[in-house]
């Protein structure tokens, strides 16, 4: 397969999420959501009230995406902008905002990829128990139906739920995202509710005869060990089953990894799963699997005899590994290892690399230009892996740089930048970074 042939079968794009870019938290009828409340409660010194004010700069931003030559753009819809109470009355202004995005992208010939849920839950739904309350699944479906009906024929690529694993881990185990719980039983039940919500949305999408494709977006991490001792290999399996396969397996088969399921139900009494749940999940597998890839994890055995998952393994640093300031290892090979593991276990499946990128505190020079060479090297190394996988026969239909533009990093604020487009946070001026110009050339097939 030549590079040209590979590029014919894949769309190159970039991604954002509503809460991280839009700002305008109280404009035009938007309701309050879980993250609005989170920043109010936690006084972190930053919040999403302005973010990069994409809500008011949307025309300019989309124009810049076009200038970079993006072939596709992944964004999420803010549920509380559409339904301020989470259910009930529709806020037309909210729909109009996304109409503008979708129509402009289509005019530019940029394929819109709409994520239905990227973590910002309407506050009234959080107050009634959030994702732990199965009623929220029905509320989610009500919201999905509105968007399906409204964008039918205009949006062809859909994502159901972004990274349930992160929300489960950070929201219900570590307590660092809303609703800031530390409760394994709740975490496991919530993970199941996310899977049910995603399967039910996929069902509705197909029943409504929507054009295009829909799938869940996961962040499975490949797991390695430094030394292949018997104990470390057991720890590796626990870690992979709990953090990655716990989500991949239901997305591709409708079932949880059996050993881990038995362990969790015995230890934590969760998740509770009915026969109808299995039926729903088995019968509604996504058209593709969304994979967000940033890094691998390396683990070693801790206390394998403990009856708690958190005691069984710990994360270790690779002595000669390359890490970002935020401790994320740069390891492009991990993407290949991960997709190979998924294919070996489950067979061939269409994959969308729905996020990939590097966060660091890049600074503009005296002319306001971001010379983000580290980002270019990171992206180069990763798109090479993607091209290589395509050449080996992997079905990868799209790839998205995280992120199209600098944005709010949930618990790191604004210093950790990801964008191909830089934002001056004092003036909100935008400028294409060196990486944006590099990506443009890459998409055109002109880079070295
Ligand atoms: C993914 C999320 C994104 C984004 C990215 C970078 O998990 O889907 O929303 O935030 O990670 O993470 P962070 O901002 O924590 O560095």
Span 279-286, average pLDDT: 98
Residue 4 CB-density burial (10 A; 0-12 exposed, 13-18 middle, 19+ buried): exposed
Tokens 């129509």 locate to 103
pLDDT > 70 fraction of the chain, expressed in percent and rounded:
100
Asked if the peptide bond before residue 271 counts as cis, ω within 30 degrees of 0, the response is: yes
pLDDT at 2: 87
pLDDT of residue 399: 98
Query: What per-residue string of b and e applies to 257-271 under the rule 16 or more CB within 10 Å gives b?
Result: beebbebbeeebebb
- Is 429 in contact with 406 (CB distance < 8 Å)? no
Atom of ligand 1 nearest to the CA of 409: 14
Tens of pLDDT along 319-360? 999 999 999 999 999 999 999 999 999 999 999 999 999 999
- Nearest Cα residue to atom 10 of ligand 1: 409
Other residues' Cβ atoms within 10 Å of the Cβ of residue 357 = 23
If you average pLDDT over residues 379-407, what whole number do you get?
Answer: 98
Alpha carbon of 409 to ligand 1 centroid (Å): 6
Is pLDDT above 90 for 224?
yes
Angstrom distance (rounded) from CA 25 to CA 94: 12
pLDDT in tens, 62-92: 999 999 999 999 999 999 999 999 999 999 9
| pTM of this prediction exceeds 0.95 | yes
In the predicted model, is pLDDT for residue 447 greater than 80? no
Q: Mean pLDDT of all residues in the chain? A: 97
Q: Quick one: pLDDT at residue 310?
A: 87
Buried b (16+ CB within 10 A) or exposed e, 118-140: bbbbbbbbbeeebbbbeebbebb
Is 179 within 8 Å of 126 (Cβ atoms)? yes
CA of 223 to the centre of ligand 1 (A): 19
Q: For 398-437, what is each residue's pLDDT tens digit? A: 999 999 999 999 999 999 999 999 999 999 999 999 999 9
176 Cα: distance to centroid of ligand 1 (angstroms): 13
Q: Are 126 and 39 in contact (CB under 8 A)?
A: no
Atom 2 of ligand 1, nearest CA residue: 163
User: To test ligand 1's pocket by mutation, which of 378, 401, 402 has the most ligand atoms within 8 angstroms of CB?
Assistant: 402
How buried is 67 (Cβ within 10 angstroms: 0-12 exposed, 13-18 middle, 19+ buried)?
middle
Average pLDDT (123-136) is: 98
The residues facing 314 across adjacent strands are 300
365-395 burial code (b ≥16 CB/10 A, e <16):
eeeeebebeebbebbbebbebbbebbeeebb
Phi, psi (deg, nearest 5) at residue 2: -80, 165
Q: In a mutational test of the pocket of ligand 1, which residue from 168, 408, 410 has the highest number of ligand atoms less than 8 Å from its CB? A: 410
> DSSP string covering 56-73, please?
HHHHHHHHHHHHHT-SEE
Query: In angstroms, what CA-CA distances link 248 with 88, 158, 179, 220?
Result: 33, 18, 24, 7
What's residue 448's pLDDT? Answer: 53
Is pLDDT of 19 > 80? yes
Minimum CA distance residue for ligand 1 atom 4: 409
The 10s digit of each residue's pLDDT in 237-260 is 999 999 999 999 999 999 999 999
Instruction: Name 279's Cβ contacts closer than 8 Å, sequence gap at least 6.
Output: none
Protein residues whose CB sits closer than 6 Å to any atom of ligand 1? 17, 20, 162-163, 166, 219, 292, 355, 359, 402, 409-410, 412, 416
**If you measure from the C-alpha of residue 404 to the centroid of ligand 1, how many angstroms do you get, rounded to a whole number?**
13
Q: How far is the CA of 230 from the centre of ligand 1 (A)?
A: 33
Quote the percentage of the chain above a pLDDT of 90. Answer: 98
Active-site annotation, residues: 163, 355
CA 62 to chain centre: 20
CA torsion sign, 54 to 55 to 56 to 62?
Answer: positive
């Amino acid at each position: 397969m030549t590079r040209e042939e590979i590029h014919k079968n894949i769309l190159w794009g970039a991604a954002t999420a509503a809460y991280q870019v839009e700002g305008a938290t109280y404009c035009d009828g938007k309701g309050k959501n879980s993250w609005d409340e989170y920043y109010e409660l936690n006084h972190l010194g930053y919040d999403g009230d302005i973010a990069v004010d994409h809500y008011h700069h949307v025309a300019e931003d989309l124009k810049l995406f076009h200038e970079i030559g993006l072939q596709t753009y992944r964004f999420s819809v803010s549920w509380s902008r559409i339904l301020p109470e989470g259910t009930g009355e529709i806020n037309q202004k909210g729909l109009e905002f996304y109409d503008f995005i979708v129509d402009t992208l289509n005019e530019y010939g940029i394929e819109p990829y709409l994520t239905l849920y990227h973590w910002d839950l309407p506050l009234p739904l959080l107050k009634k128990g959030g994702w732990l309350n199965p009623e929220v699944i029905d509320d989610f479906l009500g919201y999905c139906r509105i968007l399906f009906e409204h964008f039918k024929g205009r949006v062809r690529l859909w994502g159901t739920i972004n990274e349930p694993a992160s929300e489960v881990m950070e929201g219900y185990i570590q307590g660092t995202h809303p609703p800031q719980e530390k409760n394994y039983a709740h975490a496991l039940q919530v993970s199941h509710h996310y899977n049910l919500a995603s399967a039910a949305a996929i069902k509705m999408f197909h029943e409504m005869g929507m054009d295009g494709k829909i799938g869940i977006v996961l962040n499975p991490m490949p797991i390695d060990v430094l030394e292949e001792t018997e104990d470390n290999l057991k720890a590796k399996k626990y870690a992979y089953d709990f953090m990655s396969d716990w989500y991949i397996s239901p997305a591709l088969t409708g079932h949880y990894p059996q050993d881990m399921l038995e362990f969790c139900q015995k230890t934590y009494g969760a998740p509770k799963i009915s026969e109808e749940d299995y039926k729903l999940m088995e019968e509604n597998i996504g058209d593709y699997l969304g994979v967000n890839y940033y890094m691998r994890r390396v683990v070693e055995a801790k206390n394998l005899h403990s009856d708690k998952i958190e005691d069984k393994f710990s994360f270790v640093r690779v002595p000669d590994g390359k890490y970002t300031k935020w401790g994320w290892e740069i390891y492009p090979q991990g993407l290949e290892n991960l997709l190979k593991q998924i294919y070996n276990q489950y067979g061939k499946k269409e994959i969308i690399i729905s996020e990939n990128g590097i966060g660091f505190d890049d600074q503009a020079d005296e002319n306001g230009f971001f010379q983000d060479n580290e980002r270019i090297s990171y992206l180069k190394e990763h798109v090479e892996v993607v091209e290589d996988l395509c050449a080996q026969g992997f079905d990868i239909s799209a790839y998205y740089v995280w992120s199209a533009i600098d944005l709010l990093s949930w618990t790191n604020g604004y210093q950790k930048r990801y964008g191909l487009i830089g934002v001056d946070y004092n003036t909100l001026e935008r400028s294409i970074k060196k990486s944006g110009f590099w990506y443009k050339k890459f998409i055109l097939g002109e880079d070295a």
